[in-house]
A and B are shown apart, each in its own frame.
Chain A
Protein backbone atom coordinates (compact mmCIF):
# COMPACT_ATOMS: atom_id res chain seq x y z
CA UNK A 1 0.00 0.00 0.00
CA UNK A 2 1.19 3.48 -0.79
CA UNK A 3 -0.18 6.98 -0.47
CA UNK A 4 -0.75 8.48 -3.88
CA UNK A 5 -1.01 12.21 -4.46
CA UNK A 6 -2.99 12.60 -7.64
CA UNK A 7 -4.42 15.59 -9.42
CA UNK A 8 -7.77 14.50 -10.81
CA UNK A 9 -9.97 16.94 -12.72
CA UNK A 10 -8.31 19.91 -11.05
CA UNK A 11 -8.61 18.51 -7.51
CA UNK A 12 -5.69 17.31 -5.42
CA UNK A 13 -6.54 13.87 -4.11
CA UNK A 14 -4.67 11.75 -1.61
CA UNK A 15 -5.57 8.10 -1.84
CA UNK A 16 -4.12 4.84 -0.55
CA UNK A 17 -3.72 2.04 -3.10
CA UNK A 18 -1.39 -0.92 -3.70
CA UNK A 19 1.54 0.00 -5.93
CA UNK A 20 0.57 -2.59 -8.56
CA UNK A 21 -2.80 -0.93 -9.17
CA UNK A 22 -3.45 0.77 -12.46
CA UNK A 23 -4.82 4.28 -12.78
CA UNK A 24 -8.10 2.76 -14.04
CA UNK A 25 -8.43 0.69 -10.87
CA UNK A 26 -7.71 3.65 -8.59
CA UNK A 27 -10.20 5.85 -10.45
CA UNK A 28 -12.97 3.27 -10.36
CA UNK A 29 -12.45 1.38 -7.11
CA UNK A 30 -10.90 4.02 -4.83
CA UNK A 31 -12.35 7.28 -6.11
CA UNK A 32 -15.67 6.03 -7.49
CA UNK A 33 -15.07 7.68 -10.87
CA UNK A 34 -16.73 4.92 -12.85
CA UNK A 35 -17.10 7.04 -15.98
CA UNK A 36 -13.72 5.61 -16.95
CA UNK A 37 -14.63 2.20 -18.36
CA UNK A 38 -12.71 -1.01 -17.92
CA UNK A 39 -13.06 -2.79 -21.25
CA UNK A 40 -10.45 -5.22 -22.52
CA UNK A 41 -8.22 -4.21 -19.57
CA UNK A 42 -5.07 -4.84 -21.61
CA UNK A 43 -4.61 -1.79 -23.79
CA UNK A 44 -6.55 -2.73 -26.91
CA UNK A 45 -9.97 -1.10 -26.86
CA UNK A 46 -9.57 2.50 -25.66
CA UNK A 47 -12.60 2.48 -23.30
CA UNK A 48 -10.38 3.45 -20.34
CA UNK A 49 -8.84 6.49 -22.09
CA UNK A 50 -8.16 9.45 -19.80
CA UNK A 51 -6.12 12.59 -20.42
CA UNK A 52 -2.77 12.94 -18.67
CA UNK A 53 -1.40 16.46 -19.12
CA UNK A 54 -3.88 16.81 -21.98
CA UNK A 55 -2.73 13.75 -23.91
CA UNK A 56 -4.89 10.60 -24.30
CA UNK A 57 -3.55 7.64 -22.35
CA UNK A 58 -4.92 4.18 -21.56
CA UNK A 59 -5.53 4.09 -17.80
CA UNK A 60 -5.89 0.28 -17.68
CA UNK A 61 -2.19 -0.21 -18.44
CA UNK A 62 -0.87 2.92 -16.73
CA UNK A 63 0.38 2.43 -13.19
CA UNK A 64 -1.45 4.87 -10.93
CA UNK A 65 1.75 5.92 -9.16
CA UNK A 66 3.23 7.06 -12.47
CA UNK A 67 0.40 9.60 -12.83
CA UNK A 68 1.53 11.46 -9.71
CA UNK A 69 2.62 15.07 -10.35
CA UNK A 70 0.51 15.13 -13.51
CA UNK A 71 -2.92 16.49 -14.42
CA UNK A 72 -5.41 13.68 -14.95
CA UNK A 73 -8.72 14.47 -16.66
CA UNK A 74 -11.55 11.94 -16.72
CA UNK A 75 -14.96 12.19 -18.34
CA UNK A 76 -16.38 13.44 -15.02
CA UNK A 77 -14.06 16.44 -15.17
CA UNK A 78 -15.03 17.84 -18.55
CA UNK A 79 -18.18 19.70 -17.47
CA UNK A 80 -16.77 21.23 -14.25
CA UNK A 81 -13.50 22.16 -15.98
CA UNK A 82 -15.45 23.77 -18.83
CA UNK A 83 -17.55 25.74 -16.34
CA UNK A 84 -14.51 26.69 -14.25
CA UNK A 85 -13.04 28.17 -17.42
CA UNK A 86 -16.12 30.37 -17.78
CA UNK A 87 -18.15 28.12 -20.07
CA UNK A 88 -21.79 27.17 -19.72
CA UNK A 89 -23.38 23.74 -19.70
CA UNK A 90 -21.30 20.70 -20.50
CA UNK A 91 -18.09 20.61 -22.53
CA UNK A 92 -18.75 21.44 -26.22
CA UNK A 93 -17.40 18.02 -27.24
CA UNK A 94 -19.88 16.28 -24.91
CA UNK A 95 -22.65 18.52 -26.21
CA UNK A 96 -21.78 17.68 -29.80
CA UNK A 97 -21.73 13.92 -29.10
CA UNK A 98 -25.14 14.31 -27.50
CA UNK A 99 -26.64 16.34 -30.35
CA UNK A 100 -25.26 14.01 -32.99
CA UNK A 101 -26.45 10.85 -31.22
CA UNK A 102 -22.86 9.61 -31.29
CA UNK A 103 -23.48 6.57 -29.13
CA UNK A 104 -25.61 3.49 -28.73
CA UNK A 105 -24.69 1.43 -25.67
CA UNK A 106 -22.37 4.19 -24.47
CA UNK A 107 -19.55 2.00 -23.15
CA UNK A 108 -16.89 3.43 -25.46
CA UNK A 109 -18.17 6.99 -25.19
CA UNK A 110 -16.00 8.30 -22.33
CA UNK A 111 -12.88 7.22 -24.18
CA UNK A 112 -14.18 8.49 -27.52
CA UNK A 113 -14.98 11.92 -26.08
CA UNK A 114 -11.61 12.23 -24.34
CA UNK A 115 -9.68 11.21 -27.47
CA UNK A 116 -11.79 13.71 -29.44
CA UNK A 117 -11.15 16.39 -26.81
CA UNK A 118 -7.37 15.83 -27.06
CA UNK A 119 -7.57 16.12 -30.85
CA UNK A 120 -9.69 19.30 -30.78
CA UNK A 121 -7.38 20.91 -28.20
CA UNK A 122 -4.46 20.30 -30.56
CA UNK A 123 -5.97 20.81 -34.02
CA UNK A 124 -8.58 23.59 -34.27
CA UNK A 125 -10.39 22.24 -37.34
CA UNK A 126 -9.38 18.62 -37.92
CA UNK A 127 -10.10 16.87 -41.20
CA UNK A 128 -12.07 13.65 -41.13
CA UNK A 129 -8.76 11.86 -41.75
CA UNK A 130 -7.29 13.54 -38.63
CA UNK A 131 -10.34 12.46 -36.63
CA UNK A 132 -10.14 8.88 -37.89
CA UNK A 133 -6.44 8.71 -37.00
CA UNK A 134 -6.93 10.29 -33.56
CA UNK A 135 -9.81 7.95 -32.66
CA UNK A 136 -8.24 4.84 -34.22
CA UNK A 137 -7.35 3.61 -30.73
CA UNK A 138 -10.98 3.65 -29.57
CA UNK A 139 -13.18 0.76 -30.59
CA UNK A 140 -16.98 0.96 -30.84
CA UNK A 141 -19.06 -2.12 -31.50
CA UNK A 142 -22.39 -0.34 -32.03
CA UNK A 143 -22.33 2.90 -33.95
CA UNK A 144 -20.25 2.24 -37.04
CA UNK A 145 -18.47 5.49 -36.05
CA UNK A 146 -20.43 7.70 -38.49
CA UNK A 147 -22.07 9.95 -35.90
CA UNK A 148 -18.89 10.04 -33.84
CA UNK A 149 -16.93 11.67 -36.68
CA UNK A 150 -19.94 13.87 -37.35
CA UNK A 151 -19.88 15.02 -33.70
CA UNK A 152 -16.20 15.91 -33.91
CA UNK A 153 -16.75 17.91 -37.09
CA UNK A 154 -19.71 19.68 -35.52
CA UNK A 155 -17.78 20.61 -32.36
CA UNK A 156 -14.87 21.94 -34.45
CA UNK A 157 -17.11 23.90 -36.81
CA UNK A 158 -19.18 25.39 -34.01
CA UNK A 159 -16.06 26.68 -32.29
CA UNK A 160 -14.58 28.06 -35.52
CA UNK A 161 -17.86 29.60 -36.67
CA UNK A 162 -18.04 27.36 -39.73
CA UNK A 163 -20.99 25.46 -41.15
CA UNK A 164 -20.73 21.66 -40.62
CA UNK A 165 -20.90 19.69 -43.87
CA UNK A 166 -23.17 17.09 -42.31
CA UNK A 167 -26.41 17.77 -40.46
CA UNK A 168 -26.64 17.02 -36.77
CA UNK A 169 -28.59 13.93 -35.75
CA UNK A 170 -30.79 15.71 -33.21
CA UNK A 171 -32.86 18.82 -33.96
CA UNK A 172 -31.22 22.06 -32.87
CA UNK A 173 -34.19 22.84 -30.67
CA UNK A 174 -33.78 19.75 -28.46
CA UNK A 175 -33.90 20.52 -24.78
CA UNK A 176 -30.56 20.42 -23.03
CA UNK A 177 -29.92 20.13 -19.37
CA UNK A 178 -27.18 22.58 -18.51
Chain B
Protein backbone atom coordinates (compact mmCIF):
# COMPACT_ATOMS: atom_id res chain seq x y z
CA UNK B 1 0.00 0.00 0.00
CA UNK B 2 1.31 3.40 -1.01
CA UNK B 3 0.44 6.40 1.14
CA UNK B 4 0.25 9.96 -0.06
CA UNK B 5 2.22 12.63 1.79
CA UNK B 6 0.10 14.79 4.09
CA UNK B 7 -1.22 17.91 2.42
CA UNK B 8 -4.19 20.21 2.54
CA UNK B 9 -6.49 20.32 -0.47
CA UNK B 10 -7.94 23.60 -1.68
CA UNK B 11 -10.65 24.04 -4.30
CA UNK B 12 -10.53 27.58 -5.75
CA UNK B 13 -13.51 28.58 -7.87
CA UNK B 14 -11.83 31.00 -10.25
CA UNK B 15 -8.57 31.25 -12.17
CA UNK B 16 -7.53 34.33 -10.16
CA UNK B 17 -8.14 32.49 -6.88
CA UNK B 18 -6.10 29.48 -8.08
CA UNK B 19 -3.21 31.71 -9.21
CA UNK B 20 -3.33 33.62 -5.91
CA UNK B 21 -3.03 30.37 -3.92
CA UNK B 22 -0.10 29.18 -6.05
CA UNK B 23 1.63 32.57 -5.65
CA UNK B 24 1.06 32.70 -1.91
CA UNK B 25 2.35 29.18 -1.23
CA UNK B 26 5.13 29.06 -3.86
CA UNK B 27 7.07 25.80 -3.98
CA UNK B 28 4.90 24.30 -1.22
CA UNK B 29 1.85 24.18 -3.49
CA UNK B 30 1.12 22.09 -6.57
CA UNK B 31 -1.88 22.27 -8.89
CA UNK B 32 -3.83 19.07 -9.54
CA UNK B 33 -6.03 18.48 -12.60
CA UNK B 34 -6.98 14.80 -13.04
CA UNK B 35 -4.12 13.68 -10.81
CA UNK B 36 -3.60 10.47 -12.75
CA UNK B 37 0.16 11.13 -12.94
CA UNK B 38 0.65 13.45 -9.96
CA UNK B 39 -0.99 11.11 -7.43
CA UNK B 40 1.20 8.06 -8.26
CA UNK B 41 4.22 10.38 -8.33
CA UNK B 42 3.34 11.74 -4.89
CA UNK B 43 2.88 8.15 -3.66
CA UNK B 44 6.42 7.48 -4.89
CA UNK B 45 7.72 10.47 -2.92
CA UNK B 46 8.64 12.37 -6.10
CA UNK B 47 6.57 15.40 -5.04
CA UNK B 48 5.79 16.33 -1.46
CA UNK B 49 3.61 19.45 -1.56
CA UNK B 50 2.09 20.92 1.61
CA UNK B 51 -0.87 22.15 -0.39
CA UNK B 52 -2.59 20.71 -3.43
CA UNK B 53 -4.72 23.14 -5.44
CA UNK B 54 -7.54 21.40 -7.31
CA UNK B 55 -8.39 22.96 -10.67
CA UNK B 56 -11.68 21.04 -10.93
CA UNK B 57 -13.87 24.03 -10.03
CA UNK B 58 -12.05 26.67 -12.11
CA UNK B 59 -14.54 27.50 -14.89
CA UNK B 60 -11.95 29.27 -17.10
CA UNK B 61 -10.16 25.95 -17.68
CA UNK B 62 -13.20 24.07 -18.98
CA UNK B 63 -14.84 23.89 -22.39
CA UNK B 64 -14.05 23.28 -26.05
CA UNK B 65 -14.97 25.98 -28.55
CA UNK B 66 -14.36 26.77 -32.20
CA UNK B 67 -12.44 29.99 -32.70
CA UNK B 68 -13.34 32.82 -35.10
CA UNK B 69 -10.65 31.71 -37.57
CA UNK B 70 -12.05 28.17 -37.77
CA UNK B 71 -9.59 26.68 -35.31
CA UNK B 72 -10.21 25.12 -31.91
CA UNK B 73 -9.63 26.30 -28.34
CA UNK B 74 -9.56 23.46 -25.84
CA UNK B 75 -9.73 24.17 -22.10
CA UNK B 76 -6.92 22.57 -20.11
CA UNK B 77 -9.37 20.64 -17.90
CA UNK B 78 -10.98 18.83 -20.86
CA UNK B 79 -10.77 15.13 -20.06
CA UNK B 80 -8.89 12.87 -22.46
CA UNK B 81 -11.96 10.63 -22.85
CA UNK B 82 -14.14 13.55 -23.95
CA UNK B 83 -11.36 14.97 -26.15
CA UNK B 84 -11.00 11.67 -28.04
CA UNK B 85 -14.68 11.62 -29.05
CA UNK B 86 -15.41 15.36 -29.31
CA UNK B 87 -16.97 16.14 -32.69
CA UNK B 88 -14.80 19.19 -33.41
CA UNK B 89 -11.60 17.33 -32.51
CA UNK B 90 -12.26 14.72 -35.22
CA UNK B 91 -11.08 17.33 -37.77
CA UNK B 92 -7.62 16.73 -36.28
CA UNK B 93 -7.31 12.92 -36.40
CA UNK B 94 -3.80 12.95 -34.92
CA UNK B 95 -5.05 14.62 -31.72
CA UNK B 96 -8.24 12.55 -31.35
CA UNK B 97 -6.20 9.37 -31.93
CA UNK B 98 -3.41 10.32 -29.53
CA UNK B 99 -5.99 11.12 -26.82
CA UNK B 100 -7.76 7.80 -27.41
CA UNK B 101 -4.54 5.87 -26.80
CA UNK B 102 -3.38 7.56 -23.59
CA UNK B 103 -3.23 5.16 -20.63
CA UNK B 104 -6.43 3.12 -20.05
CA UNK B 105 -10.17 3.85 -20.02
CA UNK B 106 -10.48 4.77 -16.33
CA UNK B 107 -7.46 7.09 -16.52
CA UNK B 108 -8.83 8.90 -19.59
CA UNK B 109 -12.10 9.59 -17.75
CA UNK B 110 -10.18 11.69 -15.23
CA UNK B 111 -6.90 12.65 -16.93
CA UNK B 112 -6.96 15.98 -18.77
CA UNK B 113 -5.42 17.50 -21.89
CA UNK B 114 -3.72 20.12 -19.70
CA UNK B 115 -2.28 17.41 -17.48
CA UNK B 116 -0.96 15.50 -20.47
CA UNK B 117 0.66 18.61 -22.02
CA UNK B 118 2.25 19.38 -18.63
CA UNK B 119 3.19 15.72 -17.92
CA UNK B 120 6.39 15.12 -16.00
CA UNK B 121 9.10 13.30 -17.95
CA UNK B 122 9.57 9.61 -17.19
CA UNK B 123 12.53 7.35 -16.55
CA UNK B 124 12.85 3.81 -15.21
CA UNK B 125 15.26 5.13 -12.56
CA UNK B 126 12.82 7.86 -11.48
CA UNK B 127 9.26 6.48 -11.57
CA UNK B 128 9.90 4.11 -8.68
CA UNK B 129 9.07 4.00 -4.99
CA UNK B 130 11.15 5.97 -2.51
CA UNK B 131 12.58 2.70 -1.12
CA UNK B 132 13.69 1.59 -4.60
CA UNK B 133 15.30 4.92 -5.47
CA UNK B 134 17.01 5.23 -2.10
CA UNK B 135 18.65 1.81 -2.53
CA UNK B 136 20.40 3.11 -5.67
CA UNK B 137 21.45 6.42 -4.20
CA UNK B 138 18.78 8.30 -6.17
CA UNK B 139 19.37 9.95 -9.57
CA UNK B 140 19.94 13.32 -11.24
CA UNK B 141 16.24 14.07 -11.59
CA UNK B 142 15.38 13.60 -7.94
CA UNK B 143 17.55 13.81 -4.80
CA UNK B 144 20.77 12.46 -6.40
CA UNK B 145 23.81 13.51 -8.41
CA UNK B 146 24.29 10.51 -10.68
CA UNK B 147 22.57 9.59 -13.97
CA UNK B 148 21.98 5.83 -14.32
CA UNK B 149 21.03 6.15 -18.01
CA UNK B 150 24.11 7.96 -19.31
CA UNK B 151 27.12 7.06 -17.15
CA UNK B 152 28.79 10.25 -16.04
CA UNK B 153 25.95 12.25 -17.62
CA UNK B 154 25.33 15.69 -16.16
CA UNK B 155 22.07 16.36 -17.97
CA UNK B 156 18.87 14.48 -17.18
CA UNK B 157 17.52 12.53 -20.17
CA UNK B 158 14.16 11.36 -18.77
CA UNK B 159 11.73 10.86 -21.65
CA UNK B 160 8.88 13.09 -22.77
CA UNK B 161 6.01 10.59 -22.54
CA UNK B 162 2.92 12.64 -23.35
CA UNK B 163 1.09 11.45 -26.47
CA UNK B 164 -0.68 14.77 -27.06
CA UNK B 165 2.63 16.69 -27.20
CA UNK B 166 3.83 15.41 -30.61
CA UNK B 167 0.25 15.54 -31.93
CA UNK B 168 -0.12 19.20 -30.92
CA UNK B 169 3.37 20.02 -32.23
CA UNK B 170 2.43 18.60 -35.63
CA UNK B 171 -0.72 20.78 -35.60
CA UNK B 172 1.13 24.01 -34.71
CA UNK B 173 -0.70 24.49 -31.40
CA UNK B 174 -0.34 27.55 -29.17
CA UNK B 175 -0.55 27.31 -25.38
CA UNK B 176 -2.33 29.96 -23.31
CA UNK B 177 -0.71 30.29 -19.90
CA UNK B 178 -1.64 32.43 -16.91
CA UNK B 179 0.63 33.27 -14.01
CA UNK B 180 1.41 35.85 -11.36
CA UNK B 181 2.94 38.11 -14.04
CA UNK B 182 -0.18 37.90 -16.19
CA UNK B 183 -1.19 35.89 -19.25
CA UNK B 184 1.14 34.86 -22.04
CA UNK B 185 1.08 32.67 -25.12
CA UNK B 186 3.78 30.33 -26.34
CA UNK B 187 3.92 27.99 -29.32
CA UNK B 188 4.12 24.39 -28.19
CA UNK B 189 7.38 24.05 -30.18
CA UNK B 190 9.06 26.63 -27.95
CA UNK B 191 7.42 25.27 -24.81
CA UNK B 192 9.29 21.95 -24.65
CA UNK B 193 13.00 22.05 -23.88
CA UNK B 194 15.62 19.29 -23.87
CA UNK B 195 15.96 19.03 -20.08
CA UNK B 196 14.60 15.89 -18.43
CA UNK B 197 14.28 17.52 -15.01
CA UNK B 198 11.65 20.00 -16.22
CA UNK B 199 11.13 19.82 -19.98
CA UNK B 200 8.63 22.67 -20.04
CA UNK B 201 9.15 26.41 -20.22
CA UNK B 202 6.80 26.96 -17.30
CA UNK B 203 7.37 29.68 -14.73
CA UNK B 204 6.69 29.67 -11.00
CA UNK B 205 2.98 29.68 -10.24
CA UNK B 206 1.89 29.42 -13.87
CA UNK B 207 -1.09 27.39 -15.09
CA UNK B 208 -1.97 26.15 -18.55
CA UNK B 209 -5.37 27.64 -19.36
CA UNK B 210 -6.11 26.39 -22.88
CA UNK B 211 -4.60 24.95 -26.04
CA UNK B 212 -5.37 26.62 -29.37
CA UNK B 213 -5.05 24.83 -32.69
CA UNK B 214 -5.26 26.64 -36.05
CA UNK B 215 -7.94 25.66 -38.57
CA UNK B 216 -7.06 22.54 -40.55
CA UNK B 217 -6.46 22.95 -44.30
CA UNK B 218 -9.03 21.42 -46.65
CA UNK B 219 -6.77 18.48 -47.44
CA UNK B 220 -5.53 17.94 -43.87
CA UNK B 221 -4.40 14.40 -43.18
CA UNK B 222 -2.93 13.17 -39.92
CA UNK B 223 -2.55 10.10 -37.74
CA UNK B 224 -0.90 8.93 -34.53
CA UNK B 225 1.04 5.73 -33.90
CA UNK B 226 1.93 4.37 -30.48
CA UNK B 227 4.17 1.51 -29.47
CA UNK B 228 3.77 0.10 -25.96
CA UNK B 229 4.10 -3.21 -24.20
CA UNK B 230 0.38 -3.73 -23.67
CA UNK B 231 -2.44 -2.31 -25.78
CA UNK B 232 -3.63 -0.19 -22.86
CA UNK B 233 -2.53 1.53 -19.62
CA UNK B 234 1.14 1.92 -20.61
CA UNK B 235 2.99 5.10 -21.44
CA UNK B 236 4.49 5.10 -24.95
CA UNK B 237 7.72 3.28 -25.72
CA UNK B 238 7.55 5.28 -28.93
CA UNK B 239 5.00 7.74 -30.31
CA UNK B 240 4.77 9.05 -33.89
CA UNK B 241 2.61 12.01 -34.95
CA UNK B 242 2.28 12.62 -38.67
CA UNK B 243 0.44 15.51 -40.28
CA UNK B 244 0.33 17.02 -43.78
CA UNK B 245 -1.96 18.66 -46.32
CA UNK B 246 -2.82 16.87 -49.54
CA UNK B 247 -3.77 18.90 -52.60
CA UNK B 248 -6.16 17.78 -55.34
CA UNK B 249 -3.30 16.27 -57.32
CA UNK B 250 -2.16 14.20 -54.34
CA UNK B 251 0.94 16.27 -53.57
CA UNK B 252 2.03 16.70 -49.94
CA UNK B 253 2.51 20.16 -48.41
CA UNK B 254 3.07 21.41 -44.84
CA UNK B 255 4.34 17.99 -43.76
CA UNK B 256 5.27 17.38 -40.14
CA UNK B 257 6.59 14.31 -38.36
CA UNK B 258 7.25 14.33 -34.62
CA UNK B 259 8.56 11.34 -32.68
CA UNK B 260 8.32 11.09 -28.89
CA UNK B 261 9.36 8.96 -25.89
CA UNK B 262 12.99 9.01 -27.02
CA UNK B 263 14.51 11.82 -24.98
CA UNK B 264 13.43 14.77 -22.87
CA UNK B 265 11.78 16.62 -25.73
CA UNK B 266 9.66 15.30 -28.63
CA UNK B 267 11.89 15.12 -31.72
CA UNK B 268 10.93 16.69 -35.04
CA UNK B 269 12.29 14.42 -37.80
CA UNK B 270 13.54 17.27 -40.02
CA UNK B 271 15.24 15.31 -42.78
CA UNK B 272 12.29 12.96 -43.07
CA UNK B 273 9.95 15.95 -43.32
CA UNK B 274 12.07 17.50 -46.09
CA UNK B 275 11.73 14.26 -48.07
CA UNK B 276 7.97 14.21 -47.54
CA UNK B 277 7.42 17.84 -48.52
CA UNK B 278 6.25 18.10 -52.14
CA UNK B 279 6.11 14.32 -52.61
CA UNK B 280 3.54 13.08 -55.09
CA UNK B 281 1.50 10.38 -53.34
CA UNK B 282 -0.18 9.31 -56.58
CA UNK B 283 3.06 8.60 -58.40
CA UNK B 284 4.84 5.27 -58.59
CA UNK B 285 7.83 6.69 -56.79
CA UNK B 286 5.92 7.22 -53.54
CA UNK B 287 6.81 3.82 -52.09
CA UNK B 288 10.47 4.81 -52.38
CA UNK B 289 9.69 8.14 -50.68
CA UNK B 290 8.07 6.33 -47.73
CA UNK B 291 11.11 4.08 -47.39
CA UNK B 292 13.46 7.08 -47.51
CA UNK B 293 11.34 9.00 -44.96
CA UNK B 294 11.38 6.00 -42.59
CA UNK B 295 15.15 5.57 -42.98
CA UNK B 296 15.77 9.28 -42.37
CA UNK B 297 13.62 9.21 -39.22
CA UNK B 298 15.52 6.18 -37.93
CA UNK B 299 18.83 7.93 -38.54
CA UNK B 300 17.78 10.96 -36.54
CA UNK B 301 16.11 9.11 -33.63
CA UNK B 302 18.30 7.76 -30.86
CA UNK B 303 16.22 6.25 -28.03
CA UNK B 304 18.08 6.02 -24.72
CA UNK B 305 17.72 3.29 -22.08
CA UNK B 306 15.65 5.77 -20.04
CA UNK B 307 12.24 4.09 -20.11
CA UNK B 308 11.39 0.37 -19.99
CA UNK B 309 11.76 -1.50 -23.27
CA UNK B 310 15.03 -2.24 -25.00
CA UNK B 311 16.26 0.99 -26.58
CA UNK B 312 17.69 -0.75 -29.65
CA UNK B 313 14.32 -2.40 -30.25
CA UNK B 314 12.63 0.99 -29.85
CA UNK B 315 15.00 2.43 -32.47
CA UNK B 316 14.23 -0.34 -34.94
CA UNK B 317 10.53 0.36 -34.42
CA UNK B 318 10.98 4.01 -35.50
CA UNK B 319 10.93 3.27 -39.26
CA UNK B 320 8.15 0.68 -38.77
CA UNK B 321 5.86 3.10 -36.92
CA UNK B 322 6.76 6.05 -39.16
CA UNK B 323 5.80 3.97 -42.21
CA UNK B 324 2.55 2.70 -40.70
CA UNK B 325 1.52 6.11 -39.35
CA UNK B 326 2.28 7.83 -42.65
CA UNK B 327 0.19 5.29 -44.54
CA UNK B 328 -2.63 5.60 -41.97
CA UNK B 329 -2.67 9.39 -42.41
CA UNK B 330 -2.76 9.04 -46.17
CA UNK B 331 -5.61 6.50 -46.03
CA UNK B 332 -7.49 8.59 -43.43
CA UNK B 333 -7.13 5.66 -41.05
CA UNK B 334 -5.35 5.10 -37.77
CA UNK B 335 -4.55 5.08 -34.97
CA UNK B 336 -1.58 2.74 -35.36
CA UNK B 337 -1.38 0.52 -32.30
CA UNK B 338 -2.09 -2.99 -31.14
CA UNK B 339 -4.42 -4.53 -28.57
- Which residues in A have some Cβ–Cβ distance to B below 8 Å? 2, 18-22, 38, 41-44, 46, 49, 52, 55-58, 61-63, 65-66, 115, 132-137, 139
**Contact assessment for A132 and B7 in the assembled complex, using a CB-CB cutoff below 8 Å:** no
Does A20 contact B104, Cβ atoms closer than 8 Å?
A: no
List 12 A–B pairs whose Cβ atoms lie within 8 Å, in order of A's numbering.
Answer: A18-B6, A41-B2, A55-B109, A61-B39, A63-B39, A63-B54, A65-B11, A66-B56, A133-B339, A136-B104, A136-B233, A137-B107
Q: Which of B7-24 contact A (CB under 8 A)?
A: 7-9, 11
In whole angstroms, what is the CA distance A43 to B110 when docked? 11
B-side contacts of A65, CB under 8 Å: 9, 11, 54
Given contacts A133-B339, A136-B339, A137-B104, contact A22 B109 (CB under 8 A): no
Within the complex, the shortest CB–CB distance from B57 to chain A, in Å, comes to: 10
Query: Which B residues contact A (CB, under 8 angstroms)?
Result: 1-2, 4-9, 11, 32, 35-36, 39-40, 43-44, 52, 54, 56, 81, 103-107, 109-110, 230-233, 339
B27 to chain A, nearest CB (A): 18
Asked if residues B8 and A19 are in contact (CB atoms below 8 Å), the reply is yes
| Nearest CB on B from A57, distance (A) | 6
Instruction: Give the residue name and chain of the B residue nearest to A135 (CB).
Output: B105
Task: Tell me the bound Cα distance from A131 to B2 in angstroms.
Answer: 30
Contact of B105 among A19, A136, A139 (CB under 8 A): A136
Whether B339 contacts A19 by the Cβ 8 Å rule is no
CA distance A55 to B339 in the complex (A): 22
Contact A20 B110 (CB under 8 A): no
Q: Which 4 A-B pairs have the closest CB atoms?
A: A137-B104, A136-B232, A61-B39, A42-B40
In the complex, are the beta carbons of B35 and A62 less than 8 A apart?
A: yes
Q: How far is the CB of B100 from chain A (nearest CB, A)?
A: 9
Cα of A17 to Cα of B1 in the assembled complex, Å: 17
| Contact (Cβ within 8 A) A43 B9 | no
**Closest-CB distance, B120 to chain A (whole angstroms):** 14
B105 near A61: Cβ-Cβ < 8 Å: no
CA distance A133 to B104 in the complex (A): 9
Q: Is the CB of A63 within 8 A of B40?
A: no
Chain A residue nearest to B79 in the complex (CB): A55
Bound Cα distance from A115 to B106, whole angstroms: 8
**A137 CB contacts on chain B under 8 angstroms:** 103-107, 232-233
Q: What A residues does B9 contact at CB under 8 A?
A: 2, 19-20, 63, 65-66
A136 CA to B339 CA, complexed, in Å: 9
Known: A41-B2, A56-B109, A133-B339. A66 touches B233 (CB 8 A): no
B81 neighbours in A (Cβ, 8 Å): 55
Tell me whether A63 and B2 are in contact (CB under 8 A). no
B306 CB to nearest A CB, Å: 19
Give 5 A-B pairs besides A52-B109, A136-B230, A137-B107 with Cβ atoms closer than 8 angstroms. A2-B9, A41-B43, A63-B9, A133-B105, A137-B104
**Bound form: Cα–Cα A21–B43 in Å:** 11
B109 and A61 within 8 A (CB): no
Residue from A21, A43, A133 whose CB has the most chain B CB atoms within 10 Å: A43
Q: A19-B7, A42-B2, A43-B40 are in contact. Are A57 and B231 (CB under 8 A)?
A: no
> B233 to A44, Cβ gap below 8 A?
yes
Shortest Cβ distance from A12 into chain B, in angstroms?
Answer: 19
Find chain B residues with CB under 8 A from A18 CB: 6
Instruction: With CB as the reference atom, state the residue of chain B lying closest to A61.
Output: B39
CA A46 to CA B2, docked complex, whole Å: 15
How far does the alpha carbon of A18 sit from the alpha carbon of B47 in the complex, in Å?
18
**Residues of B contacting A139 in the complex (Cβ-Cβ under 8 angstroms):** 233
Cα of A77 to Cα of B105 in the assembled complex, Å: 21
Taking a contact as CB atoms closer than 8 A, the residue among B5, B32, B339 that contacts A63 in the complex is B32
In angstroms, Cα B134 to Cα A29, docked, is 29
